[in-house]
Amino acid sequence: MTASPTILIADPDEETRLALAEAVVRIDPGARVIEAADGSALNRALAGSRIDLLFVDVLLPQTNGADIRRWRETGNPQGLVVLVTDMLAPRWSSTARRVGAYDVILKPLGDLHIARLLAAGRILSRSLDCLVVDPGQATRTLVRKLLGQSHFSFRVLEAAGGRDAVRLAEREPVDLAIIEMSLPDYPALEVACRINDRHPAARILMTGPRIEEGIQRQLATFGASGFLAKPFQFFDIDKAVHESFGLWHPYLINALRRESLLDAGPAVGQAV
Question: What one-character-per-residue DSSP string does 22-59 give?
Answer: HHHHHH-TT-EEEEESSHHHHHHHHHHS--SEEEEETT
Chain-centre distance for alpha carbon 7 = 18
Per residue in 145-159, pLDDT (tens digit) is 999 999 999 999 999
Q: Which amino acid is at 192?
A: A
Beta carbons within 8 Å of 31's beta carbon, 6+ residues apart: 4, 5, 6, 7, 24, 25, 118
Please provide residue 92's backbone torsions phi and psi, each rounded to the nearest 5 degrees: -60, -30
CATH topology of domain 6-124: Rossmann fold (3.40.50)
3-state secondary structure of 232: coil
Per residue in 132-142, pLDDT (tens digit) is 999 999 999 99
Helices (runs of H) and strands (runs of E) counted in the chain:
11, 10
Higher confidence at residue 102 or residue 214?
102
Confidence of residue 101 (pLDDT cuts 50, 70, 90): very high
Beta carbons within 8 Å of 151's beta carbon, 6+ residues apart: 80, 102, 124
Per residue in 196-222, pLDDT (tens digit) is 999 999 999 999 998 887 777 889 888
Per residue in 39-65, pLDDT (tens digit) is 999 999 999 999 999 999 999 999 988
Per residue in 60-99, pLDDT (tens digit) is 999 988 889 999 888 888 899 999 999 988 778 888 988 9
Q: Which residues pair with 82 in a beta bridge?
A: 55, 103
Query: Residue 160 in contact with residue 204, Cβ under 8 Å?
Result: no
Per domain, the residue ranges of the chain are 6-124, 127-263
Domain 127-263 bears CATH identifier 3.40.50.2300? yes
Query: Residue 237 in contact with residue 156, Cβ under 8 Å?
Result: no
Judge if 6-124 and 127-263 fold alike in CATH terms: yes
Pick the closest to residue 208 from 219, 194, 223 (CA basis).
219
- The verdict on pTM exceeding 0.95 is no
